[in-house]
Structure 1
Amino acid sequence: MEIVLTDRGGPEKLRIDDTAAAPPGRGEVRVRVLATGVSFAEVQMLKHRYPMQPKYPFVPGYDLVGEVTSLGEGVTGVAVGDRVAALLVTGAWRTHVVITADRLVPVPDGLDAGVAAAATMNGVTAWQMVHEVAKVRAGQTVLVHGASGGVGTLLVQAAVAAGATVLGTASAAKHDTVRALGATPIDYRTEDVPARVRELAPGGVDAVFDHLGGDSLQVSYDMLADGGIVVNYGSATTLDENNHWLVPYLRTIRRFASWWLGKALGRARGRRATFYYVKAGPSFNRALAEVYRLVADGELAPPIDQRLPLTEAAKGLRLLMDGRATGKIVLEA
């Protein structure tokens, strides 16, 4: 069984197909999916706004946690019955997935499959941005946009664990969640966010994690302290634009180019900006192993808003689109 996105539109464009699982080829394994996630990427794909997404129809699903059911020729280092995780970008919303063995990451014994799924893409995204991109350290102050979301909640936790003071934007209904994670909430709907940030961090913040894109990037950049960094990992504010999906990214590149030029000319006070996107490969595998260790040890806790059957993927998308989710929506097969 698989969930197919048939065309541009809303969650009603999903259909459920009854398909047979293919056998694995050389270097591949077949995995029975136990849990997968609903992410903003799928919301973008509904509107054909995600970079280089497949042509309709296709099966969405960015990541998965599952159990190996069969091995292709030449596969070593993994056995039938092993629990594993993988980053696919698309194709995870199935009951069975065939994938190359080198993309698999072991899931620790005792770690719930749904929790592992909530930590897979979101956990690596947060961990790499905090530790490898912004290199957050004790004594710094950072701002997390969307601090109650699937990635945002983990960004807050990772930055707090690094010893930073964290400010996080969220709607008022989600402020208790943000506080419980260790951050100071800012209501992006009713408060002047830059003014509130200046009040809490008069010298500016050392990092801003911005999934909004568009005009938000300039606002984020202007809130930086000397030597600070904006990490842009999305373009949520451009979701409803009626243009080619590439246009918002070209605007962002132009904006970044002006900042890079200013930095080269010594006019940026050491401030900088960079892109981040999560991608499969050895770096992802290493980071996910570390994220799973932190989750298993109780040092990182990915919040799960709801667990839904895979057949209710449309409901999960609607919850995310309506802004009603706090943390991750997990689909269980």
Structure 2
Amino acid sequence: MNETTTHVVLPGIVEPAGLLVEETPVATPGPGELLVTVEATGISYAERAMRRGRYFMQPAFPFTPGYDLVGTVTAVGPGVDPAMTGRRVASLTKTGAWTGRAVVAERDSVVVPDGVTSEDAEAVTVNGVTAWQMLHRAARVRPGQTILVFGANGGVGGVLIQLARHHGVRVIGAASPRHHEAMRRDGVDPVDYAAPDLADQVRALAPAGVDAVFDNIGGATTRTARSLLARGGVLVSYAIIDAVSGTGSLWPPFLSHVGRIAFWNTLPGQRAVFYDLWSGHSRTPKRFRAHLEEDLGRVLQLVRDGVVTPRIAARFPLTEIVRAMELAESRTLDGKVVLLP
């Protein structure tokens, strides 16, 4: 009899209660693939958007969500070093990680060092590589500079703050007031992201402007963010929550946003970048792989060394995905909801 595994199915645009838990046969890894027994996966903003059909290029319904996972390799496909069997890996999947056993691409997987728990590694996989690449590759922030981070209490923002502080960078964090005290304890200067006088709050802290802004909101917030840059500063936009949270087609606001970023980047005095984690995945796969291995590897080493503390807000068995999703969408958390198959 074929082995089966538990997985979560998103059948369509449903409320969290509409998520299904089913059994499916365990797949066989193909060329360049690994079969992984999943030890931890999690809920990110991407899955919350997918539930509403509001994530760019998401698969057709029904499908299994799950942007990343951590687990142990139990079998390898043709062309993969057999020595990978038994190793723990952190894998980027975009979808398919909410399961007990998953087939993943070896080139999208990085070995997790000893001394890092699977839960901690999961909390910094997609969030950690995104934060590292935006800080060090997109913005190229230097020690002694000042940055403004929107979504400072979120999954990416929480790692970005820690990486920046470790790099000797001053951080101004934009988030809801309920998160401000925790941010102060982390050495961050908090501002209210929704306040009408947001720009004035930031200018009071950085009269000459900030050296980089990391914006995940879009719309009017992005325009305000750019106005707060110092000369030579860089705006890094990596999401448009404003549009994703709305209704109607995502393409007009997305194309308008990316076009505006591209235009700003032609003007002298500042840079503007739209960061996409998957950029180059198909066009320059060797470069994508090299950067993933190097950047996620560094983040995992910082976790092992106690420099970066993964922020886990709650842990749930995978079979309790409904309760987990409801909590993740409550907007009350500081950290990631981790799922344990």
TM-score interval for Structure 1 and Structure 2 normalised by the shorter chain: over 0.9
CA distance in 1, matches of 2:188, 2:297: 26
CA distance in 2, matches of 1:27, 1:197: 48
Tell me the CA shift for residue 285 of structure 1.
2.1
Aligned length: 327
- Say if 1:150 and 1:302, in contact at 8 Å, map to a contact too: no
| 1:301 paired to 2:295 | no
Give me the TM-score of the superposition, normalised by structure 1. 0.94
Tell me the CA shift for residue 190 of structure 1.
4.4
What SS is found at the alignment partner of 2:132?
Answer: helix
Matching residue of 2:219: 214
CA distance in 1, matches of 2:272, 2:338: 32
When structure 1 is superposed on structure 2, of 71-80 and 139-148 the one drifting more is 71-80
CA distance in 2, matches of 1:258, 1:68: 45
When structure 1 is superposed on structure 2, of 11-20 and 315-324 the one drifting more is 315-324
CA distance in 1, matches of 2:214, 2:262: 19
When structure 1 is superposed on structure 2, of 244-253 and 61-70 the one drifting more is 244-253
Query: How high is the sequence identity, in percent, across the aligned residues?
Result: 43
Amino acid paired to 1:10: E
- Say if 2:262 and 2:272, in contact at 8 Å, map to a contact too: no
Amino acid paired to 1:312: E
Change (3 A) 1:78 1:231: farther
| 1:310 paired to 2:318 | yes
- Say if 2:173 and 2:188, in contact at 8 Å, map to a contact too: yes
Matching residue of 1:272: 271
Gaps spanning 5+ residues in structure 2: where?
1-5, 282-287
CA distance in 2, matches of 1:254, 1:4: 35
Tell me the CA shift for residue 13 of structure 1.
2.7
CA distance in 2, matches of 1:126, 1:316: 24
Pairing 1:230-249 to 2, within 5 Å after superposition: 230-249=235-254
| 1:202 paired to 2:201 | no
| 1:17 paired to 2:22 | yes
- Say if 2:55 and 2:244, in contact at 8 Å, map to a contact too: no
Tell me the CA shift for residue 290 of structure 1.
1.0
Matching residue of 2:64: 59
Equivalent position to 1:119, from 118, 124, 127:
124
Tell me the CA shift for residue 23 of structure 1.
1.9
CA distance in 1, matches of 2:170, 2:300: 24
Give me the TM-score of the superposition, normalised by structure 2. 0.92
Matching residue of 2:13: 8
- Say if 2:135 and 2:160, in contact at 8 Å, map to a contact too: yes
- Say if 1:134 and 1:231, in contact at 8 Å, map to a contact too: yes
| 1:97 paired to 2:102 | yes
- Say if 1:151 and 1:327, in contact at 8 Å, map to a contact too: no
Tell me the CA shift for residue 77 of structure 1.
5.8
CA distance in 2, matches of 1:48, 1:293: 36
Gaps spanning 5+ residues in structure 1: where?
none
Tell me the CA shift for residue 27 of structure 1.
3.0
Tell me the CA shift for residue 11 of structure 1.
1.2
Matching residue of 2:182: 177
Question: Alpha-carbon deviations, 1:129-158, whole Å to 9, x = none?
Answer: 111111111221100111111111111111
When structure 1 is superposed on structure 2, of 158-167 and 21-30 the one drifting more is 21-30
Matching residue of 2:165: 160
Tell me the CA shift for residue 273 of structure 1.
1.0
CA distance in 2, matches of 1:86, 1:136: 27
Tell me the CA shift for residue 299 of structure 1.
1.3
Question: Alpha-carbon deviations, 1:179-234, whole Å to 9, x = none?
Answer: 12221111224462111001010111111100111221101001111111110011
Equivalent position to 1:44, from 35, 43, 49:
49
